[in-house]
Structure formats: C-alpha cells, structure tokens
A and B are shown apart, each in its own frame.
Chain A
Amino acid sequence: MNLKSSNSSFSAESIQKQGNGFLGVEWGTYIKAFFGGNAFVAMFVLALITLFLFKEGVGFFPQYRKDMELYRASGQEFVGLLKTELDDYDELQQQLGKVQVSILTDLYAEGKEWEEVTALTAPFQASLDQTSSAADPLRQVVKKAIDITSEAKEAVVVNNTRREITGVDLTTLMNEEQSAAFLKSSREQIIAMMPEIEAANDMFLENLLAAQEAMPELNLSPDAKKEMLIYEKGLKTFLDSMTKFDDKLAKYDPEKPFTFLQTLGGFLFGSQWTTNSSWQDFYGIWPLLSGSLLVTLVALSFAIPFGVFAAVYVNQVASSSEQNIIKPYIEFISAIPSVVIGFFGVAIFGTFIRTLSEQDFLAWVPFFPISERLNAYTAGCLLALMAVPTIFTLAEDALNNVPKAFTEASEAMGATRWQTIWRIQIPSSLSGIISAVLLGFGRVIGETMVVLLCAGNQIAVPELSKGLGIVFEPVHTMTGIIAQEMGEVVPGSIHYRALFCVGIFLFFLSLLINYIAQAIVRRYKISAG
C-alpha cells in the first residue's frame, strides 16, 4: 500500500524558514504582540484604578491636617469642648421635655381641662424653666468665644483662599507668619477668658444643683416614671462628665501640633462625619463604618443560615426535579438589579416591617413599634436576599466537590444521610463554605443602592445602649455616603478627597476579604484522589 502521493523529500531546504512575515519578523510574533498589547492595556487600566484612587485620595490627609491645625490654632477646638458640654446639656433638657409631655398626656387622658392641668403642673414647669436657664451664663460666655474664634478662623481661611487664587495685590494679604500671629492673638483672647469661663461653669453647676433640689415631688404614671428614670440617669452621667470636663479644659494645650498620626486616627476613628458645617467639618469614618457593619451583620445573620441550609438541602436532600428548578431559580435571584431590590424596600418592605411592628400581638417585643420604616434592619433583610445566591452557589459547589468516596464510605457503614452530611460532608466542605460566607460578606458590604435607598441615611454611630433595638436605627454606610455626596462635591476639595479615602478603605477591605477567602480555599482544598 502506498500512502504517499509524492515523494516529498526531507531536506535542509524544506524545513528552512520561509519568508512569511513582515519586515523580517514572523506573523506569529505580531499576533503575540497584538494580544500582549491588549493584555497590557487591560492590566495597565486595572493598575490605574489603584493608582488613581490613591492620587485623589491621599491628598486628603495633609489637607485635613491643615484644617485641623487651623481648628486648633484658632482656639475653636477649645471652645468646641465647651460647645459639646452645652450640646449634651441640651439633649438632657430634651429628655426632661419628654417627661413633661408624658405627664401632660396622662393628665389630659384623665379628662382634665387646660386650666386645671396648668395649675397642677405649675411647680414642675417652674423647675423646668430653672433647669434650662441654669446654663445661661455659660452659654453667653461660650457664644462670645465662638464669635471670636470663628471670626479669626474665617479671616485666615479667606486670606488663604485669596492668596491661592492671587490676582489680588499681595501686600494687602497676610503671609504665613502674620496669619499665625493673628490666630495666636485670637487664642490668647480665649485663654484670657479662662477665669470667666471657669466662673460661668461653676455657676452652671450651682444652678443645676439648685434646680434639681427645687424639683417638686411628682406623682408619676409608669410611662412618665420610665422617662424620668432615663433623665436622672443621664443627669448623673452628665454631672460626672462635668468634673472630667474641668480636667480636660485645664489640661488643654492649644500650642500642641496636630500630628499626622492624629489625622489618620481622626479619619479612622473619628465619630463625626460633618460636612458643609458653619463651625468645622469633620471627616471621621466610624459612623459610616459602624453603619455598614451593622447592616452587614443583619444581612449575614439571615443569609448565612438560609444560604447554607438551602445549599445542603438542594445538594443532598432535594429530588432531582426540585434541584433542577430551585438551583437556577436561586442563581437567578443574583441577577436582580440592586436598585430594584432597593426600590422594593422603599415601596413595600419598609412599610411592611413598620406595620408589622405596630401590631398588638408583637407589642411584647421591647423596641416595637419602630419609628422609622427605613433602617438597618430593612436594608439588612434585603441585602440578605442579595447575599443568599452568592453563599448558596459557592457552598453548593463546595458540597459538590466532596469526593463521592467519602460519602459512600460513610453510608456503607450504616450512617444515616444526616449523619453523613453532618460528620463528613460539611466538615470536608467547610473551607468552601467559609469562603462562600466571606464572599457574601464582601458582596454585602460593597453594595450601594440598597443601603442608599433603605438604610435611612442618618449619620450617627448606632448606640449600643439600645440593645437589640439597635438594628432598627437608621444608619448611613460607606457606600451610601459616596453615592449620596459624590455628585455634589467640588473636585479637588477636601470633601471630595475624603470620599476617595472612604473609597480606598472599601477597596482594601474588599481586597482583604477576597484574599482571605481564596487563601482559605487554597489552603484547605481536599484532593479528590
């Protein structure tokens, strides 16, 4: 049999390189270069993301530091301490107001007329007035101090801005030294006021104690008593803190420089995120981070059990027809756009939760009824719906990857299905399940639209004192704040850079989560041999 049509001979010429190429380079090289170029562009862009975030973000810290230095140098920080004290006191007053409201409500409920009620509550009203006017001397002093410092700071800020813009005659402006001296004079004015402040503070304390003694004995209903108790507790902590305040004031040193570490700490642990304020802007990420964590906690506390249980059910228990329907269905959930879920929360779920909390049969729950329909719980529940498919799919994969031999060995020894699942399948797929949970965590904490629409957007650190009721507080989140404020900031301003810093924080958080998840999977991979 002849399998060869011709006698193609093997010779040196036949395997010589032919001239197929361009400019002496083979086509293959061009093709490789083309793909390589593409890959390079893609890699470059992805690297650019990190670079760009940094480029825009790091400028925040020097700028914030400058701001805070000015805040301190002008004496505003010092006055700020007094201001906080007064703010705390106002809050306390509000609590007393609540007591009053509940007393009045009780009296009206008893069917009393207006005149009668006024007469009955007159002594209480008097002591209320006395309490609120207790702080008046201090208020006056503080107001004066606020005016002085704000004016000084304003002048310097305007001066600096004008210097930056230029175009205006330089000689009329202060240079650095001059403005420092100017600030110092303002500071010294405040320090000169120190005896005045101390006197006012002492008087405040005296007045407060006097008013407390003048408080009439009240016959209170249980509700009013509850409010009163809260007030008394608050008063006690306030009085305690007042003595500490004195210490703080005494120790305060306005000349101390503001270090970079303090700036960083102020960003990471600062409990205030205040922007566009007439007093001073603070960029502390803690209220946002705590809000994000609270929402995530709620979401995961639902998503983990539901996701994992559903994965076990579908993988191990369900009939194959059930599997064929449920699995794509749950995977399909992950395709629902987040804005639609958020809309569902705003339009239906939030109201549903609030209405539910107002039902009589749930009145025994301590923090029901809830006042806000949009809160961490609402957002958390909806985020759980988004995290379930992620956790479900990955956990199901992990269960699928457990070698058949393991289960067969277990069942051959007479273990029930459940025992096999509990003792063999789940332990051997645990690394996969944990990484699934971590990726779910990453997905939830990075989600924007749902929290923007449903979390209530109130910038405050949730108060732990509320116990479990904390989850029904409206919160703001890191992703939410970027989405809400980015559209309104001036590019290049400190606010703009602060938002980029939040972005960088989120970026690294998600990288960390992802990395840990992958490391776990790699480390504990079972070899299916």
Chain B
Amino acid sequence: MIDSDSSLEMFRHRRTPAKSVQSFFFWLFRICTYIIVLAASTLFIKIAYEGSITIFEKTFPFVNVGFFTQSPQTLYVFEWDDAMLTESKLEAVAAVEAEIRKEIPEKELFFKDAIVTAEAQKAETLNELALVRADINRVKKELKQVQRKEDAATKVIEKLEAKQQRLFDRNAPEAELHQMRNEIIAGLEARKAIFREKAGIEEERANLASMKNQLSAQLPEALEIESKRVLDNLQASLAWPEPGYFEKQNAEEAQIQAEFDGKELKLEEKYSYLVDRATAKAEVLFTEVDPEDPETKLAWLKAKLSLKKAEDRWAAKLEKLETERKLALTNARSFQAGDTEYRGVYARKAEAAGVNVKSYAYSGGGIFPAIVGTILLTVGSMTIALILGIFSAIYLSEYAKPGKVLNLIRLSIVNLAGVPSIVFGLFGFGMFVVFFGWGVSLAAGCFTLAFMVLPVIITSSEEAIRAVPQGFREGSLALGATKWTSIRTNVLPYALPGILTSSVLGVARVAGETAPIMFTAAYALRDNLPWEGLDKPTDFFVQGVMALPYHIYVVSSKIPQNEYTVRMQYGTAFVFLLIVACIAFTSILLRIRMRKLYKW
C-alpha cells in the first residue's frame, strides 16, 4: 500500500529552475506586448486629445462646424496696444465706415443697372460666348495640327541629320555634304515657320480665353453673384468694430489681469506659509545640531532640503502662471479671422485703425476640400481596383488553366503586393501625368492608387474564391447548372465576405496612402471645390484635388510652424485618423461577423 501522504508529496508544487526561466520569459514577453500597446495608445491619445481641442467646442453645437465646411485659409491675427489706438485712428475708422455707408447704395444702383443691361444683352452675350467657345475649339484643333506638323518636321530633320552622319562616316564628297547641310538648313527654316505659326495660335488661344472669361462675367447670373458678394461684404464690414469693441477687449484684459493676480496671491499665501514653516523648522534644528551626533545634523540637512524644495516649487508654479497669463493676454488682445473674412470684412477698417495684422498661412478655415478630395480619390480608385481585381480573380481561379504560366502570374502578383507605394507613385507620375499628359489630376491619382491595391485585391479575392469548397461547384454542375450559373449562385455568394473584408482593408490602405498621390493628384491648396468652375464634365477628372494625408504633410513640414498651425495639424490628423480607423474597424467587425455567419 502506498502511503497517501507520500504520494501527495510526489505531486507537490516544486520550484524548479525550469519554472523560474518560464516565468522570467513570460514576464518579458508580457512587458514587450504591453509596451507596444502603450506606444500605440500614446499616439492615439495624444492626437485625439490635441485634435479634439480643434474640432470640438464648449458651446453649442459643440463641434467646430467651420473646420469641416471651409477651405483652408490664411489666418489673420489682429494685435494692438492701447497707445496705437489713438483718437485719430478711431476717427479714421469712423471715416472709412461713413465711406462704406455711402458706397452701399452706389454699388446697389450700379449692379442693378448692370444686371438690367446684361439681361437685355443676354442673348447677344450668349451668342458671342458660343462663338468664342467655338473659336477656342477650332484653335485647339489647329494647335493639334500644328503640333503634328512640328513633330513631322522634327522627324524629317532627324532623318536628314542621320543621313548626314552616314555621309560623314563614309567620307562622302564635300559637294554632297554641302547639299545635305543646305537641306537640313531648309528643314530647320521650315520648322521655324511652324514655330512662329504655333506661337501665333497660342497667343490667339490666350486672347480667346480671356475674352471668354470677360463674357461670362457679363452674364446677369454672374453679375448677380458678384453683386451679392460685394454687397454682403460691405454690409458685413459695417458690423466691425461694434461700438466700444476695443474698450470691451480692454476690459476683458483687465479682468484677466485681475484673475491672474488673484491666482498669484493664492499661490503666495499657500507657499509663503509652507516656506515659513520649513524655515522655522530648519532654524530650530540648526540650534539643536550636536557635532557629536550625526543624526541631528542629518535632520537639519533634511529640513533644509525640504525648504529648498518648497521654494523651487513655488518658483516653478509662478513661472507657469506667468506663461499662462501671457497667453491669455495675447488672446484677449488679438483677434482671429479667416482669409475671405479678412479681405471682405476687416481689411479696410483694420488698415485704417492701424492694428497690427499678422498672417499665418494654412492656419485658418477648415479641411473640407481635403476631405472631399480623399473621398473622391478613394471611391474612384476602389471602383477601378474592385472591378479589375475581382473579375481577374474570378478568371484566375475559375477559368484559367492551371500550369506554369498561372503560377508565374500568381507569383508576380503576390510579389507586386509588396512593392513600396512610392514606386507606384513614380510609375503613376511617369505614365499618367507625363506620358499620357493628364497632368496632376484626379484621374491620375485614382489609377495610381488603383494599381497599387490591385495586387492585394486580386490575391485576397482569389483566396476567398478558392476557399469555397469544391463540392459546391461539383454539386451544382452535377445538377446541370452551367459554369457561370454555378459560380454566380454557389461560389461568389460564399466568397463575398472574404472579398468584402479585403476590399475594406484596401479602402483603408488607399485612403491612408500619401506617397502615390504626392505628385500624381494632390494639390497643397486649391480654391475651387472639385465641382466648381468646370468648363465641361470631363474636366472633373483632370483637375488636381486636395487630400487629407497630403494636407497633413504640407502643414506639418512645408510651412513655418506656430501655435495656430499646430492646431490645424492636430485637427487634420485626428479627423484623418478617425476616418481611417472607422474603415479599418468596419473591416475587422465585418470579418468577425462573416466568420460566424458562414461556416462550412
């Protein structure tokens, strides 16, 4: 019989070296994991915190609406000191205001007249406009023809030169060479004539374009818009500065001063008490210091140390308070305005008042065009990539004959998925922007991005399609379905979740990439929204757009930094991060859901 105690003894917990090693490594790994999580969280939290200062507000509607609906603007900050705002300056402001009041009815009348005249002449203007447009088209065609002629002439010259070279090479007689040279000169002369012709046509085109602009501005609709803008601006500029504006600001400043004085006083109360107490204690201890006893000396030193600490803390707090005070005062004394606001509303009076105007590029307004641009780029490129990608995947997995060629194609696609995005950008620039001559445009950006994600989409779609059990296809075929019917009813529906997940991930990647669009599609700043100022619908695709990632790049490294730009940067980064995170999160959720739904 085995003694039960001793058998328990056998299985008792023991500390062995192996177990210590295990716990050491497990802790190491745990720490590493949490450091990663912590690092990422720091990034998220920092950007979210700073960004929410920009995009949220304390008052209704709690969101900085302008940030989402305006274009980026230069920020104008007014600063003044009281000495500058003398009586005479304020009088000058008043004079300007009187001028504006007088101007308003004049302008109203002017525009009314102009509109009436334009209305009467509308048909005529339109006619003229149509003629000019036709002219422009004609000129464009001519230009193309001339270009062709030029190319032909160049080719002829090249041929002649090559011939001359050959003659040289076989030491042809001088006479022949001479004749050759004359021929070349004649060719060059002919081309010079073409050049001149081309220059003439180009000039004509420029003239026509300016004529077109002039004519379009004479249409009553354009005049109405213009009149509304001018009058609104004039009306608005009456409102600033409202009576007592500067006094109010000054009062606010005084209030701030008082507030901070109070804070300083409170600090003094608190710390002077602490310091006094510590001083007293140190003094008492100093009298008690016994040279024989190191302990008393130690106590005294400790007391001195705590005294110094208290003093230091006080100084630090005071310093911080001073910085805060300075900031608050500048805020109270300055006044911010966006680009259009400044030009329309404040410019004339601010000038008259002689307040200091400092301008900061990109620091005002919002990021609406960038959001729009990113959406356009994403939608456009995903449409192209999904159509090409999914159909290709269907072909490769269902129709293509397996063999070496197919394997090679698969291998290249998989490898292309790892090619750096900047290389795709380079390709897009060389191909669409330069070779096709689309210029920096939406279309070039969409195609570049589409080809960047294409390998990813093809690979993952193919994987999803091939993950559908073979039995589904066979079962369907054996029931007499055609191949396409089997694919449509029994393969694609079950591959769809996988395709969807991968394409959502593709969306996140496309929306987040900067490098491919830097020189194919993105503008640092553009006044018009993509649908504004188009001559014809196709122009929509050949215009550059703003994009969120490029905007972040521009505001964080291409312009001088200041406290206003920083707000813009964090705001943009936060919004961008939020958008991309939402897409990625959708993809993760989708994957989890789909996994639960479809299991076989």
User: Is B one of A's binding partners?
Assistant: yes
* B-binding segment of A197-205, A216-224, A267-275, A330-338: A330-338
Asked if residues B569 and A491 are in contact (CB atoms below 8 Å), the reply is no
Complex partner residue of A332 from B30, B399, B588, CB under 8 angstroms: B588
Nearest to B181 among chain A residues (CB) is A170
Nearest to A503 among chain B residues (CB) is B426
Nearest to B419 among chain A residues (CB) is A510
Cα of A328 to Cα of B584 in the assembled complex, Å:
10
Complex partner residue of B430 from A31, A52, A336, CB under 8 angstroms: A52
List residues of chain B with CB within 8 A of the CB of A318: 30, 33
Asked if residues B552 and A34 are in contact (CB atoms below 8 Å), the reply is no
Asked if residues B552 and A343 are in contact (CB atoms below 8 Å), the reply is yes
List residues of chain A with CB within 8 A of the CB of B206: none
Complex partner residue of B412 from A46, A346, A506, CB under 8 angstroms: A46
B423, CB-defined interface residue at 8 Å: yes
Asked if residues A449 and B32 are in contact (CB atoms below 8 Å), the reply is no
Q: Quick one: given A46-B412, A56-B430, A510-B420, are A419 and B47 in contact (CB under 8 Å)? A: no
Asked if residues B396 and A53 are in contact (CB atoms below 8 Å), the reply is no
B454, CB-defined interface residue at 8 Å: yes
Asked if residues A313 and B33 are in contact (CB atoms below 8 Å), the reply is yes
Q: Which of B385-427 contact A (CB under 8 A)?
A: 387-389, 391-392, 394-396, 398-400, 409, 411-427
Cα of A331 to Cα of B32 in the assembled complex, Å:
16
* A-binding segment of B15-23, B106-114, B337-345: B15-23
Q: Quick one: given A166-B188, A337-B513, are A385 and B39 in contact (CB under 8 Å)? A: yes
Cα of A448 to Cα of B423 in the assembled complex, Å:
10
Cα of A306 to Cα of B18 in the assembled complex, Å:
23
Q: Quick one: given A453-B556, A500-B430, are A166 and B484 in contact (CB under 8 Å)? A: no
List residues of chain B with CB within 8 A of the CB of A492: 434
Asked if residues B581 and A511 are in contact (CB atoms below 8 Å), the reply is no
CB distance from B15 to the nearest CB of A (A): 12
Interface size class of B (residues with CB under 8 A): 35 or more
B46, CB-defined interface residue at 8 Å: yes
Cα of A233 to Cα of B26 in the assembled complex, Å:
50
- Chain A 434-446: CB-based contact to B (< 8 A → 1; otherwise 0): 0000010011011
Nearest to A307 among chain B residues (CB) is B36
Q: Quick one: given A35-B391, A487-B519, are A330 and B36 in contact (CB under 8 Å)? A: yes
Cα of A506 to Cα of B47 in the assembled complex, Å:
32
List residues of chain B with CB within 8 A of the CB of A314: 33
* B-binding segment of A62-70, A115-123, A179-187, A478-486: A478-486
B147, CB-defined interface residue at 8 Å: no
Complex partner residue of B26 from A48, A313, A339, CB under 8 angstroms: A313
Q: Quick one: given A313-B26, A329-B40, A448-B421, are A416 and B18 in contact (CB under 8 Å)? A: yes
Q: Quick one: given A343-B573, A515-B415, are A453 and B557 in contact (CB under 8 Å)? A: yes
Which of B414, B426, B513 has the most CB atoms of chain A within a 10 A radius of its CB? B426
B585, CB-defined interface residue at 8 Å: yes
Main secondary structure of the interface of A (DSSP, over half): helix
Q: Which of A294-344 contact B (CB under 8 A)?
A: 305-306, 309-310, 312-314, 317-318, 326, 328-333, 335-344
Q: Which of A421-460 contact B (CB under 8 A)?
A: 422, 439, 442-443, 445-449, 452-453
Complex partner residue of B21 from A305, A328, A418, CB under 8 angstroms: A418
List residues of chain A with CB within 8 A of the CB of B349: none
B576, CB-defined interface residue at 8 Å: yes
Asked if residues B429 and A309 are in contact (CB atoms below 8 Å), the reply is no
A101, CB-defined interface residue at 8 Å: no
Nearest to B424 among chain A residues (CB) is A49
Q: Which of B244-266 contact A (CB under 8 A)?
A: none
CB distance from B443 to the nearest CB of A (A): 14
CB distance from B395 to the nearest CB of A (A): 4
B549, CB-defined interface residue at 8 Å: yes
Nearest to B447 among chain A residues (CB) is A45
Complex partner residue of A42 from B26, B40, B420, B458, CB under 8 angstroms: B458
Cα of A260 to Cα of B30 in the assembled complex, Å:
55
A195, CB-defined interface residue at 8 Å: no
Asked if residues B35 and A503 are in contact (CB atoms below 8 Å), the reply is no
Asked if residues A479 and B422 are in contact (CB atoms below 8 Å), the reply is yes
A28, CB-defined interface residue at 8 Å: yes
B515, CB-defined interface residue at 8 Å: yes
Cα of A449 to Cα of B391 in the assembled complex, Å:
32
List residues of chain B with CB within 8 A of the CB of A422: 25
Asked if residues B46 and A313 are in contact (CB atoms below 8 Å), the reply is no
A39, CB-defined interface residue at 8 Å: yes
Q: Quick one: given A56-B430, A329-B37, A487-B519, are A344 and B423 in contact (CB under 8 Å)? A: no
- Chain A 384-426: CB-based contact to B (< 8 A → 1; otherwise 0): 0100100010000000000000000000000011110010000
Asked if residues A28 and B482 are in contact (CB atoms below 8 Å), the reply is yes
List residues of chain B with CB within 8 A of the CB of A35: 391-392, 394-395, 398-399
Cα of A28 to Cα of B398 in the assembled complex, Å:
12
CB distance from B548 to the nearest CB of A (A): 9
A213, CB-defined interface residue at 8 Å: no
B543, CB-defined interface residue at 8 Å: no
CB distance from B254 to the nearest CB of A (A): 35
Asked if residues A388 and B36 are in contact (CB atoms below 8 Å), the reply is yes
In the assembled complex, 10 residue pairs joining A and B whose CB atoms fall closer than 8 Å, in A order, are A35-B394, A49-B424, A167-B188, A317-B29, A346-B556, A385-B39, A418-B21, A483-B518, A487-B519, A491-B430
Binding site for B on A (CB under 8 A): 27-28, 31-32, 34-36, 38-39, 41-43, 45-46, 48-49, 52-53, 55-56, 166-167, 169-171, 305-306, 309-310, 312-314, 317-318, 326, 328-333, 335-344, 346-348, 385, 388, 392, 416-419, 422, 439, 442-443, 445-449, 452-453, 479, 482-483, 486-487, 491-492, 499-500, 503, 506-507, 510-511, 513-515, 518
4 shortest A-B CB distances, which residue pairs?
A446-B420, A337-B512, A418-B22, A335-B584
